[in-house]
Structure 1
């Protein structure tokens, strides 16, 4: 999926909004660095206010519990010692004031609602860009059951300032894939897509880390520790990448299963986008695995090249001082000749394309290639002629006719089936077919075939289950046909229809 398509669907806009909110959480820390110069009671350049703020947030987060938080005096005591390490030659009173000033700034005592404000934009459902106000807190004051104040780190501070700014790439990627699998199993494909995009960013970060080691090796093998550090990194990276490829392939199969079983078009589209993102992660990990497997060979080749390479015997050309500056003092004609000579020397001779008659003639006379994998034309299968298959033998048909020939009696279908089963195992099926046809007798067909009898079936108003057949029982009897009277009746009916 391209970047433009993501903007149209609203996915990229949501990602931008989340990152802008995360960036807003760091703004109060940068503001401390700006405002410290306006405090006349301290030497601001001696203190790193952002570091003090992060230290205070960490202390509050560590002390947080389900029902309590960090006490002001404990946080200030620890922060004062940290500030004292930055400027040990300053007084303890100034250290305490700096720590208190940073703590109050993180609580944002300057505002009545203690909230920081940040403007950001987003694209709404109609496609228009609109500004929104994001309010957040870093440290919050609460009271316990005894009425004492304590401090809590906000949700935004924990997510960004404590978590996201100190993230191990490998662990973050594993956690992201676990979360991705959980979201897919629960059918939350919209949230899973965001997690998949974050996992892809982690993949890019990890690949960039390995790439820096390999690029540094190509520049100078002496700057990289190939005795201890890099081999350990490569072993860890290979283990990590192999596990990630295995996990991502399992995630891809799970997404494909969700896509194939989904009935909703939006769900299928989101699943298809997820397949694309996870497939891109697998591709990146596969490329990274290939680079890792060849890293030691790269080190050996670079070591040989750099160790035995001769010293350069030719000075590099400075285009500015050796070419451009002298050319500006010449006329156009003189400069053109000089530049033409430089380009010919720098680019080198260009080989003209020439036709090789010895290679051209056999190519022209060669037979056309056969593209069929079987080297011959494939036969297109046509419809097969139906085979005549007689389901019932002539003997079975004769027995069925004898059973159903009952001109002076009436019998139920169940009785006839019981008798037929004694004669032949397949005979009840033939009897049922004949009885069903007799339920709507074909009088005209019997007359055309010169039959003098016709089997008639009517409902017996009862249910039977015999020899694998279940349904309404039928009363069967054979009616004799008076052919002259029947023919006259049919002719009279046709005449009446014509007169109408």
Structure 2
């Protein structure tokens, strides 16, 4: 860093060059991110070329009042993707183009801004700044549908400069084009003409952005200092550009008439077409600038001198609610619908971005700052869990199961015994507890290591004939664990 740079002047242009790198980074980032995609089949596409194609197409298709349509940009990128990978199908080309367009729009973020940190040296101190920018942005079109516009930073990506005086760069571009035409270097002049066209679009966008502030808030704009000086300077600049471009066009026409080479007329015709596009855009911008005074006065009248509309207040209870409640439903509904339609002002529908909508829906609600006093904390008393079955019933069921032997006892017999025992004990649900125990033994025999016995329930496809329960009439077997359970009779362990 030179000494002069330490006293508030960025003599090396570090900040400007860092901004230029930052603007190019989202385009370069497409190449870094493409191997991470779920498909994994897009690594052969040159995403940088597709991104520059999108920015270039938006730049050339937008004008002062309208932007470019999404489908036109996707189609242009899909055509380039088809040239890169002709063996892939059209659907994949369109999918790649849509992914590149969403990345340039920075879809998925709240404000859709790209940001980059850079520093400024001033008075021997280093101050970090944030450079926020957009490459492409969506704006409502005349029909309410979204349109695409390229920012100044995006156009600067194509011509390789950021934070330069646009008018001076446009003069330099025209001068370079004129010199190349005068020397007969039409091949190099074609690239210079395209650069001049982009500078024309960039200058138009610069003027349109400045006039946009007047439309939003007339109080933030001073007519003499801001609007009138800008109008005079821009009209003089446009007049110079029109004269210079007409001169270049005349030289090209003479070159076409006097040339003996076959390629010269075709190259000159292409350059003339680009220059005519520049002249058309200059004429459109000139017409808009000549109407700035009328627009300023109209906005002044609209924003400052129009009194607020006078409205009569409606007593909703006396004039609407009470009469509506006295009518039948079939008569009240049309009247209420008419009132709701009249009371709701018309508005242009906002552009809804699906990722932003999903993010808003998935965001948890914010915690309240304080207690509003409306929430009543419930008071829970101590309660006791009432057992469905008593200890005596568990003891009775255990005794019934222990009376089984190696020959086995049917579940139906055990249920009858449990019901008889339950009637005498005054509890009528002992059979339910028994059925639960037997079902637990089915497939999970209970081993008693101390006595060396096993208690199990087996199924032999015999249906249970019972008024309360249904399923298999399980065979409950109680015997030594060393002896094998009977299998020759077709008994199987399984689920009831």
Q: Structure 2-normalised TM-score?
A: 0.33
Q: Structure 1-normalised TM-score?
A: 0.33
Based on CA coordinates, which of the two structures has the bigger radius of gyration? 1
Greater helix content: 1
